[in-house]
Amino acid sequence: MKKPATKFMTNSDGDPVPVKNVQAYDRLRDRKVRAVYARWVKARKIVEGVMADSIKDLVELQGARKETGNDLGVKGNFSVSSFDNLINVQIKQTYRIQLDDRVRQARELMMDYAKGLAERVGGNDGHAPWQRAKALLTESIQPERGKAYIIVAVKPDRQHDAQTIRLDAADCWPTA
């Protein structure tokens, strides 16, 4: 007669532990955490599909809009509404501004210029350093493309403001 196989769970050190030696709470905790994880993975895949389908539709609309001669918006931003104007969908592109080490040099030049002006009230001698400092500051700015967002807003009717549909887990917290 065959002996039933012993089941194991892996502990935090990666070692197998016979299930019979694992406390009931730890088995329950493991099952519940894995159930939450599985739900989140499933939801993530659904949201990724929603995003992919939405982007595909919006890119198609951008192409159609371009064919009509309408400009596509600036810096990756795009907005389109339903025919009745009750639903609005936008792509919003965010940017971050990074400053490199030239900003320190520009600050020093500007401070020197300001000190010079204070000493020579009304003098023009510091104009070139001030212009160089401004140019360094402008050159030091390095915009980086951040994240792009799709924003979907709907008005229940023309008398109300649009409400954004938020796909944010924290926003979905049960009220009860």
DSSP state, residue 3: P
Q: Which one-letter DSSP state was computed for residue 85? A: S
At 30, is the secondary structure helix, strand, or coil? helix
Q: Which helix (H) or strand (E) holds 105?
A: helix 102-119
Q: Whole-angstrom Cα distance, residue 67 to residue 7? A: 64
- pLDDT at position 39 is 95
Among 126, 129, 108, 107, residue whose Cα is nearest residue 117: 126
Q: What is the pLDDT of residue 76?
A: 72
- Residue 93: its H or E element: strand 87-99
Domain positions in the chain are 16-72, 75-168
CA distances from 144 to 92, 93, 94, 106 (A): 14, 11, 9, 21
State how far the Cα of 29 lies from the Cα of 37, in Å rounded to an integer: 12
Question: CA nearest 147: which of 92, 105, 100?
Answer: 92
For residue 121, the model assigns a pLDDT of: 67
Indicate the burial class of 111 (C-beta count within 10 angstroms; 0-12, 13-18, 19 or more): exposed
Q: How far apart are the first and last CA of the chain?
A: 54
- Whether residue 155 contacts residue 161, with contact meaning beta carbons closer than 8 Å, is answered with yes
What is the value of pTM for the model shown?
A: 0.62
Stretches where the chain sits below pLDDT 70 are 1-5, 69-75, 121-126
Q: What pLDDT, on a 0 to 100 scale, did the predictor assign at position 36?
A: 95
